[in-house]
Amino acid sequence: MAKTNTTEILESLASEIGENIYMDIAKWHLYLSNAKLDHVLAEKLYPLLTSKSVNEQKVIEILQTTSIKIGGGRKELPLLDLLPLQCQVTLIDILEKYQREI
């Protein structure tokens, strides 16, 4: 990969997050790219890459504080509550890969 341009890295990270990470809602997989959350999440996670501090706890904190509006905005749930455990693991793997490569 060897990308050095921040915009390039963010776009690539958002693309990989959007294609691989999904919310599980009533057994439906809503990928973050379809929910327009891939760039939002990439921007929140990017500082972990640049500070070389990707770890499970920090990723979970970001997922916990990322609110998703449901029911036309009547309620909000943390993104963490909507992601299956396997997607959380995959997300951390993606971030660790990017951290090694930048």
Q: For the beta carbon of residue 30, count every other beta carbon within 10 angstroms.
A: 14
Q: What is the pTM of this model?
A: 0.91
Q: What is the pLDDT of residue 102?
A: 83
Give CA–CA dist 20/102, Å, rounded: 20
Dihedral sign (CA 28, 58, 89, 98): positive
- pLDDT exceeds 60 at position 3: no
Write out pLDDT tens, residues 36-84: 999 999 999 999 998 988 999 999 999 999 999 999 999 999 999 999 9
73 φ/ψ angles, rounded to the nearest 5 degrees: 90, 5
pLDDT at 101: 87
Residue 4 has pLDDT above 70, yes or no: no
